[in-house]
Amino acid sequence: MLFEQNFNAQEVYEDTVRNGEVFRTIDGEDYIDIDIVEFDKVDDKFMKWIKNNLCDCDYLKGSDIFEVKPVK
């Protein structure tokens, strides 16, 4: 199961934050751990670097990074 096929990252983020959580586990057909890490400012160049350089590492091969807008 791919997270983005079954969930909306923005909606999951907003629900998690509203509940005061920074970590959530979805234990359904497949098991998904969600960690919320917030940064003050992230530009497109930084996101591209993260995805191109870190997401290819063995540790992150089963991970995805999603950029979401802050909860207001």
| pTM flag (> 0.75) | no
Q: Is the pLDDT of residue 12 over 90?
A: yes
How high is the pLDDT of residue 59? 63
Question: Does residue 24 sit in helix, strand or coil?
Answer: strand
**Ranges of each domain in the chain:** 3-60
What secondary structure does DSSP assign to 2-20, as a single string? Answer: -HHHH--HHHHHHHHHHTT
Residues constituting the chain: 72
Per-residue pLDDT, 15:
94
pLDDT value of position 61: 65
Convert the pLDDT of each residue in 19-66 to its tens digit.
999 999 988 777 889 999 888 888 888 888 877 777 666 666 667 778
